[in-house]
Structure 1
Amino acid sequence: IADQTSLLVAYRLAAIPVFISFVLFLILRFLDNKKDEL
């Protein structure tokens, strides 16, 4: 049970940078689209 909990914590810690990079990617795509409109 302890191993399962630590695995879940490690999974969440690993998911954080992936989520951040995904958000940054969406922001860059949005800024590129705005730049093309101007």
Structure 2
Amino acid sequence: VHSQEVLNNVATQLNERPRKTLNFMTPSHMIDKGVALMT
């Protein structure tokens, strides 16, 4: 069993990791880019 803080840290690490499938951008960067296109 893990605390919410530990789970949040793991989620942050995963979302800040560059992905080959995203042309080596991070998922959070892609989300930000998508939101910027919507405005």
Alignment TM-score > 0.5, same fold = no
The structure with the largest helix share of the pair is: 1
- The TM-score range, normalised by the shorter chain, is 0.3 to 0.5
Q: Larger relative contact order (C-alpha < 8 A, sep ≥ 6)?
A: 2
The structure number with the bigger radius of gyration is 1
- TM-score of the aligned structures, taking structure 1 as reference length: 0.43
